Amino acid sequence: MSGERVADGLPVRTAAAVAAEIDPGTVLGVSGFGSVGYPKAVPLALADREDAADLDLTVVSGGNVGREIDATLMATGAITRRYPYQGTEEANARVNDGRLAFHDRHASAMADELLYGRLPSPDVAVVEAVAVGDGWLAPSTSLGHTPAVVEAADRLVVEVNEAQPRELEQLHDVYRPATPPAREPIPVASTGERIGDTRVRFDPGTLEAVVRTDHPDGTYEFREPTADDRALAANLADFLADELDRNPALRDALHLQFGVGSVGNAAALALDDLAVGDRDIAYFGEVIQDSVLDLLDEDRLAAASATSLALSSDGQARLFDDLDRYAEQVVLRPADVSNAPGPIRRFGVVAVNAAVEADLTGHVNSTHLRGTRMVNGLGGSGDYTRNALVSCIALPSTAAGGDISRIVPMATHVDHTEHDADVLVTEQGFADLRGLSPRERARAVIPVAHPDFRPKLKAYLERGLERGGHTPHDIDTALDEL
């Protein structure tokens, strides 16, 4: 994959020159997913414009992007509408006070929504690559919805980032589903199989500029596991051990997905205590973090498939230093493949995702505090929660130093319904909710709450039972503080 970064004859320009030609009201499509692989130079140049506050930009990405867009450019007031994810303090503040119109979307659906009219199509796409040629670009540390953003946009700007290894191209597997109704099933038959191209193709006539950059991605910092993290991991391992014994779909292989951060670390820790016999283990998910690299290095995983590399500085260095070896097992796919219902169901993925809170009947809130204040976007958790063979929601039982229960009578906002979340796991235990009525669910959930809050939850359930109905709730007190 070595060679020139920018093919001869392409229009190389400065970021400032490109930014100067972006008109107010532009719908700006950008690459990026998991806070990596996004453009840096053009957004910073836009932030430097004297009229930045009047730009009235709509920004569309594949997933989470970095601070250059959702903090620096956001703070100028240039962005007034955002799809489909954000997670910075600056963006959250603007969402919650109404300065930023934000619309949360499932990651798997974004490509179709951009291409077929459900969301605004980008006027200009600004995407990061490690190389660009005549009608092609090689993505960097994420793929996300870059292919769809490029296809949907009238104009294309490619930032070629020389801080990213040229060899990243070999990780990518760019497969584009056909347009409905001629769309066929995604033909990926195993986690490590490649079914597409290493490059994103585009109409050469749309390329307006190539911007050379040398600006590394930000990296994640993962805290050391706490005692509660380890207890949660042990409970998850206990559940998985039971499930491996009873579920015939897991007889030969275990396909896992887990969210980034402490939940992902807990899932990886759970594997340390899990006897899987001669089963193959594979990762089919959305982001690859350090714990996935650890499992690959320990020969615990057959392959890892995702759409983004959400790594710490050490993890990123490890990957970059040995890209040829990791490329034998790591595949980055477009998010409308990595998160698509078909492969998730085909492989029988066991999904483990985080939450803000869960309630007594199994409704899950992943995005809002007290039902109103957004803390982050939904991302792809809904894709896996809805379509997984087994969907686990893993969360600490308390927040705010133990002052607030994260197991609540009624969720103040619902991202994943009781019909989709199968198992709740906390450091207190696990509750398998499959096949249970609402009353039975409530009785199963209370034991995974923190002991300090169980009496109030039991009292709430008793009041709900007294009121009657299929689902036991005391609506008058449902949202009272625990």
Of 205, 49, 33, residue with least CA distance to 127:
33
What one-letter code names the amino acid at 113?
E
Q: In degrees rounded to 5, what are phi and psi of residue 132?
A: -145, 145
Which residues are marked as active site?
Answer: 286
Q: In degrees rounded to 5, what are phi and psi of residue 111?
A: -60, -50
Quote the tokens at residue 132. Answer: 């660009």
Strand pairing partners for 272? none
Of 149, 62, 142, residue with least CA distance to 308:
142
